[in-house]
Amino acid sequence: MFKILRREQFSPVTYLWELQAPEIAKAAQPGHFVIVRHGESGERIPLTIADFDRERGTITLVIQAVGKSTHMMMELKEGEHLDDLVGPLGHAREFGSSKRVVCVGGGLGVAPVYPQLRKYKQLGAHTISIIGFRSKDLRFWEEKFKAQSDELIVCTDDGSYGLKGFVTVALAQVLEREGSALDEALAIGPALMMKACAELTRPRGIHTVVSLNPVMVDGTGMCGGCRVSVGGKMKFACVDGPEFDGHLVDFDEMQLRARRFEREEKESMRKWQEAHACRLDAKR
């Protein structure tokens, strides 16, 4: 049983948990993920560790409610306990000697960028951060990023805060200004965003790391649902990654695979919503 020490709601469907998990916190490294499950009918949900505190024995997860299980988990409150939490899993990120890096996070992808940004800073790199949200009201962790960034650019799709446009608008400006001075780029977010970032850095030969956590299913390599082609070779995002060279990932194939269970997911969500509505009516 893993206690929820702190819960914070970022938007109607995005929320944060700080969980008591001392053994996981002790071993966690940037890039690691955990498997979360709650309730008898709950699915196994792979989630990248967004932060960890070894001294306090806590890990932080930022979750978006998109299906039945993540909506069920959103109902849990501070002080309640999560049934199952396994990790850390996956390969920890290997950091080289990059001296000047740009870190790009889009939407929920902002959270898993943070521990890597912090590690870059600890290693003495000059850090440029770009974080993007659909609108001003959906922003989170701006101050945390500011503390670890030599330069921070915040974007909103609708222009309600910061630079108007997708994160790729800001990345293109940074690449134009920095040129070959950049050693490395990190991009985490929706597949289309990561693909677009990789295509921007490709002509300049800037090594670009992306996270393929969004295509994971069981997180152990048993289901095969997260198969991806990387450099023409078959890889599993959960056991070989979740992070890969963005210039080698076949994003088009990955997106097709990510939609494989779309019909089943929608049907599961519909049934849960109907049952949930019935329970609310009964309470009234």
Output the CATH code of domain 100-258: 3.40.50.80
Contact by Cβ (8 Å): 80, 124: no
CA distances from 169 to 104, 132, 146, 230 (A): 11, 10, 20, 26
Which sequence spans correspond to the domains of the chain? Answer: 2-89, 100-258
N residues, the chain: 284
- Would you give the DSSP letter of residue 30? T
Task: Give the pLDDT score at 272.
Answer: 46
**Residues 206, 121, 153: CA angle, nearest 5 degrees:** 65
- Would you give the DSSP letter of residue 218? S
Residues 6+ positions from 172 with CB-CB distance below 8 Å: 200
The backbone torsions φ and ψ at residue 236, rounded to the nearest 5 degrees and listed phi first, read -115, 125
d(CA 261, CA 242): 20
CATH match for 2-89 among 3.30.1330.10, 2.40.30.10, 2.30.30.100, 3.30.1120.80: 2.40.30.10
Task: Render each residue's pLDDT in the chain as its tens digit; 284 residues.
Answer: 799 999 999 888 889 999 999 999 999 999 999 988 887 767 788 889 999 999 999 999 998 887 777 888 888 899 999 888 988 998 888 888 889 999 999 988 999 999 999 999 999 999 999 999 999 998 999 999 999 999 999 999 999 999 999 999 999 999 999 888 899 999 999 889 999 999 999 999 999 999 987 666 666 666 666 778 888 898 887 777 788 999 999 988 887 765 555 554 555 555 545 565 555 555 55
Report the candidate in 23, 25, 36 with the shortest Cα–Cα distance to residue 58. 25
Contact by Cβ (8 Å): 61, 2: no
Contact by Cβ (8 Å): 72, 80: no
Model-level pTM greater than 0.95?
A: no
d(CA 193, CA 14): 19
Two tokens, residue 203: 């002509």
d(CA 258, CA 156): 26
Task: Give the pLDDT score at 180.
Answer: 82
